[in-house]
Amino acid sequence: MPSVPMSVSMPDSSLATAQSLLLAPAGLSLDQLSDTLGTLVRRGVAFADLYFEHHRSESWVLEEGIVKSGSFGIEAGVGVRAVNGEQTAFAYSGDIGRQSIIEAVNTVAAIGRMGQSAAVPMAARASGRPLYGAADPLASISDEAKIALLQETERIARARDPRVTQVVVNLAAEHVVMLVLRSDGVVAADLRPLVRLSVSAIVERDGRREQGRSGGGGRYGYERLDQAFLTRRAHEAVDMALLNLDARPAPAGVMPVVCGPGWPGVLLHEAVGHGLEGDFNRKGSSAFTGRIGERVAAPGVTVLDDGTLPDRRGSLTVDDEGTPTQATVLIEDGILKGYMQDTLNARLMGVAATGNGRRESYAHLPMPRMTNTYMLAGAHDPEEIIASVDNGIYAVNFGGGQVDITNGKFVFTMDEAWKIENGRLAYPVKGATLIGNGPDALTRVTMIGRDMRLDEGVGTCGKEGQSVPVGIGQPTLRIEGLTVGGTA
């Protein structure tokens, strides 16, 4: 039975941890798994991989000064994938054992008899450099210290203003150990920490109640949530709620919109980012299909997806197929340069994988997904951009949104927004929505600020039922002729 020679592509410590946690308890070895992959190759499968994962997670919620809920979970399992042409077979098991893997392999091997039988040559990839620490954040501090973080955050929020009537604080962490082995010889492992703190504050004045939210985190331990971090999150949530106490009904109509830096990049993520994922373009269902080399945005608009930013929520040393992440230029000075690719879509489209193969867990298939997607800075001062607008909206913070990938149409709600009159922020508005078309909106960008900022580390992206952590960012932007839906 042929085996697959493995090319190890990760720090030795990551591989050792992955082997001891995922393989050793089941009596498995890399040599045995190499033989297993060889079985799939022998049965006519063009490409196959084994994805092992161990996932620890916890969540704490404090409300009204007490811990109202808490959860802790451990999941482990293996997913087996076989690919021939555009055909994919997939099986998974929550039992990491030799017999379970053999059964999964036998299930997916049938595709080798149904599809193409020629092997597809793929070159082994080099290791990505470590972008974050390997330590498990759940074990970084005691449970008592975690509760103290929750209580301190609530105390800071309530001390911010006497009109605060309710504070809810959520603290969450996870630690993922992954190991992937591929039929082209690649072996990759990664140890992935992730923490997040979220604050919601409700204020009341004269019978009117308003809410504000804030949050932040990244790929590190709880020890990074220091006093300054807690204060920033708590104050931001309270200040947003207080601002909304004075908010007036939002106007409606077509007008210029100034989007603030950082989190408003969710507009870029939803309205443009998904349309630049390889699978949608291979299938011809994206508004950007077949447009590489064409102008798709205004001059000065440069958009990247970059999974290599240290400690960022959307960053990965290697993606979930073992490909090192990279900084991929999607749009450069308004010209479409490429798409985000996993191994399957890259091979079918005749291009290189970009390290964007992501999956929610071992029980899911990988697909092209964003990591940290952002627009580069321009030359304008943010105050200059606001001053240039006679009548418009300044969107500081976005809430939820929806987008149609096929045509790029989007609808977003604004959690915090201001009416701009005669180049000044006149008053806050409430109930504003932003309606438009992503590809069209990019062509309407007329001013780009020099204040590019990434979000605080709260983004989660959904696609085809799978959720993964992501990062977003942008500078202040002036966009002409967007439709604002309001309540005025």
pLDDT one-digit tens code per residue, 34-71: 999 998 998 889 999 999 999 999 999 999 899 999 99
pLDDT of 291 reads 96
Q: 295 pairs with which residues across the strands?
A: 335
DSSP 356-410: -EE-SSTTS--EE--SEEEEPP-SB-HHHHHHT-SEEEEEEEEEEEEE-TTT-EE
Q: Kindly list the distances between the CA atom of residue 345 and the CA atoms of 98, 153, 277, 388, in Å, as whole numbers in the listed order.
A: 30, 45, 10, 43
pLDDT of 121 reads 33
pLDDT of 12 reads 58
Nearest to 44 by CA among 83, 102, 1: 83
pLDDT of 118 reads 35
Number of helical H runs and strand E runs in the chain: 11, 25
pLDDT of 5 reads 54
| Residues 175-196 pLDDT 10s | 999 999 999 999 999 999 999 9
Whole-angstrom Cα distance, residue 473 to residue 485? Answer: 24
pLDDT of 3 reads 53
pTM of the model: 0.92
pLDDT of 408 reads 78
pLDDT of 354 reads 98
Nearest 5°: phi and psi at 453? -140, 140
Residue entry with tokens 């309710």: 166
Q: 483, exposed or middle or buried, with CB in 10 Å at 0-12, 13-18, 19+? A: middle
pLDDT of 438 reads 85
pLDDT of 124 reads 44
Give SS3 for 9. Answer: coil
Provide the residue-wise pLDDT of the chain in tens; the chain has 488 residues: 445 555 444 455 889 999 999 999 999 999 999 999 998 998 889 999 999 999 999 999 999 899 999 999 999 999 999 999 899 999 999 999 999 999 999 999 988 764 443 333 333 444 567 899 999 999 999 999 999 999 999 999 999 999 999 999 999 999 999 999 999 999 999 999 999 999 999 999 999 999 999 999 999 999 999 999 999 999 999 999 999 999 999 999 999 999 999 999 988 898 889 999 999 999 999 989 999 999 999 999 999 999 999 999 999 999 999 999 999 999 999 999 999 999 999 999 999 999 999 999 999 999 999 999 999 999 999 999 999 999 999 999 998 777 787 787 888 899 999 999 999 999 999 999 999 888 899 999 999 999 999 999 999 999 999 999 999 999 999 999 999 998 76
